[in-house]
Amino acid sequence: MRLIDHFIVGGSGGEPARKGDVFDPNNGGVQAQVALGTAETLERAVQAALAAQPKWAATNPQRRARVMFRFKELVEANMDELARTLSAEHGKVIADSKGDIQRGLEVVEFACGLPHVMKGEYTHGAGPGIDVYSTRHPIGIGAGITPFNFPGMIPLWMSAIAIATGNAFIIKPSERDPSVPVRLAELFIEAGLPEGICQVVHGDKEMVDAILDHPAIGAISFVGSSDIAHYVYNRGVAAGKRVQAMGGAKNHGIVMPDADLDQVVNDLCGAAFGSAGERCMALPVVVPVGEETAEKLKAKLIPAINALRVGISTDPEAHYGPVVTQAHKEKVESWIGKCVEEGGELVIDGRGFTLQGHEKGFFVGPTLIDHVTADMDSYHNEIFGPVLQIVRAKNFEEALELPSKHQYGNGVAIFTRNGHAAREFAARVNVGMVGINVPIPVPVAYHTFGGWKRSAFGDTNQHGMEGVKFWTKVKTVTQRWPDGSPDGGNAFVIPTMG
């Protein structure tokens, strides 16, 4: 059985005491095992990072950027291999896997320009003969705890900026699909990154707690469920660390009566069912405004959803593949049942879906449920599967209220031809990322990614300038040079109101 080992300086240190199974979601079989590390494993990675990071931080920014340029080229050259590996462990189709990696690469591209954004600020003549300037410095050692649903993109989002700003970085990927982060770390070394600056440790809660508690790790970025994000944030902050912890989501798509319904249906099929719905920026709730809009939309959705092709991850004709594990398949199907018990109208039932020749694969068929209401648990919670719920709203104000009052505030979209309605919605909705006729409003890499409410814990978002701020600390220098006159020049004093 193939073993997916840690990627740390000096090697793994022998046969791991504990291992976890890595499944092939297409057929349900175990394809590999992953080493589950301990605090001792992390300690060896931290010691290597401590040894390497000062020299890397002292490397001038443009030389660090050159490593990022070479890394970008290597990832692009190995895109097919990375996508195949990602699909084999996660289950998403090859096209989605390439998109996963490409969106991560866009942050790498942003990181190539870090010499510019690291310049700091300067004020000449802040006082008599006094200049003030600020500089950005790396935190030291950062860590990323990444989820199963984007094993390429999110490690790249975190590592690119953390490393380009001069930090050492330790990745703890999901144990469900751990191979791609290891390969990315190998490509970093091939690109010229010094050993010890990017390392990968595998593990479960034992490893997560070790990372949260280690005194030498100064900053932690996390993406996962909201309950765990809250736990990571609280424990990390209690240990004196800087923490950003991104949690779950229940994104809404508001459909106004004037919307282009054909375009809306096309967008919904991709946003709700793409990647089997296993993404925090999926659009699992559609909110048609008015009964007429709801009936027209439903009539168009049914044939479009029935036409979706579910297949193995290597099927080029498939719209989406299996979910990640059998346990997750059962969880998604249980939420479908729960929604029906709560009074939802099951229009299309994806439970019990099987694929010929892959009967043991972790497949869930596309599901559509109408007449979902805001008091249902299945609406309140994240299903994270290929399930689209219709929540009908009487008017604009009711539609605005649904995402604004929901426990999650990650993303939202509105579909309309009315500029005033779109502007009013974007200004008033209590959600962190808004799409206007854009179903998955993930910002471009030089802006920033982050939700509100239980979708994010911490004050700083991912990538863009917010990412630079998170992975650096500011030093401000106030300087004065005596003029050398016999009386020593004017004495320097702190200005007062007196």
pTM of the model: 0.93
The larger pLDDT score, comparing residue 487 to residue 277, is at 277
Contacts of 294 (CB under 8 A, 6+ apart): 288, 370, 390, 392
- pLDDT (tens digit per residue) in 307-319: 999 999 999 999 9
233: left (phi over 0), alpha (psi -120 to 50) or beta: alpha
**pLDDT score for 217:** 98
pLDDT band per the 50, 70, 90 thresholds, residue 10: confident
Using CB atoms within 10 Å of the CB of residue 192, give its burial: 0 to 12 exposed, 13 to 18 middle, 19+ buried. middle
pLDDT higher than 70, residue 226? yes
Q: What average pLDDT does this structure show over 210-236?
A: 97
- pLDDT (tens digit per residue) in 170-184: 999 999 999 999 999
pLDDT > 90 in the chain, percent = 92
**CATH numbers and ranges of domains, the chain:** 3-247 (3.40.605.10), 252-436 (3.40.309.10)
pLDDT higher than 80, residue 118? yes
pLDDT higher than 70, residue 186? yes
pLDDT higher than 70, residue 487? no
Do residues 23 and 325 touch, judged by C-beta distance below 8 A? yes
pLDDT higher than 90, residue 474? yes
pLDDT band per the 50, 70, 90 thresholds, residue 490: low
**Average pLDDT of the chain?**
95
pLDDT higher than 90, residue 11? no
450 closest CA partner among 440, 438, 437, 463: 463
**pLDDT score for 6:** 97
What b/e sequence results for 354-378 when a residue is b if at least 16 CB atoms lie within 10 Å of its CB, and e otherwise?
Answer: ebeebeebbbbbbbbbbbbeeebeb
CA–CA separation, 424 and 414 (whole Å): 11
**pLDDT score for 15:** 83
pLDDT higher than 70, residue 422? yes
CA–CA separation, 321 and 94 (whole Å): 9
- pLDDT (tens digit per residue) in 55-80: 999 999 999 999 999 999 999 999 99
Q: What average pLDDT does this structure show over 469-496?
A: 77
Query: CA angle, 9 as apex, 88 and 79 as ends, to 5°?
Result: 30
- pLDDT (tens digit per residue) in 25-44: 999 999 999 999 999 999 99
Of 112, 198, 269, 280, which residue is the catalytic one? 280
Q: What average pLDDT does this structure show over 432-440?
A: 95
**Beta bridge partner(s), residue 369:** 346, 389
**pLDDT score for 91:** 96
Q: What is the DSSP letter of 7?
A: B
Q: What is the DSSP letter of 14?
A: S
The answer to whether residue 280 is catalytic is yes
pLDDT higher than 70, residue 498? no
- pLDDT (tens digit per residue) in 341-394: 999 999 999 999 999 999 999 999 999 999 999 999 999 999 999 999 999 999
pLDDT higher than 70, residue 491? no
**pLDDT score for 426:** 97
- pLDDT (tens digit per residue) in 442-468: 988 888 899 999 999 998 999 999 999
pLDDT higher than 90, residue 496? no
**pLDDT score for 446:** 84
Q: What average pLDDT does this structure show over 131-151?
A: 97
Dihedral, CA of residue 188, residue 191, residue 192 and residue 198, to nearest 10: 0
**pLDDT score for 14:** 76
**pLDDT score for 358:** 96
pLDDT higher than 90, residue 497? no
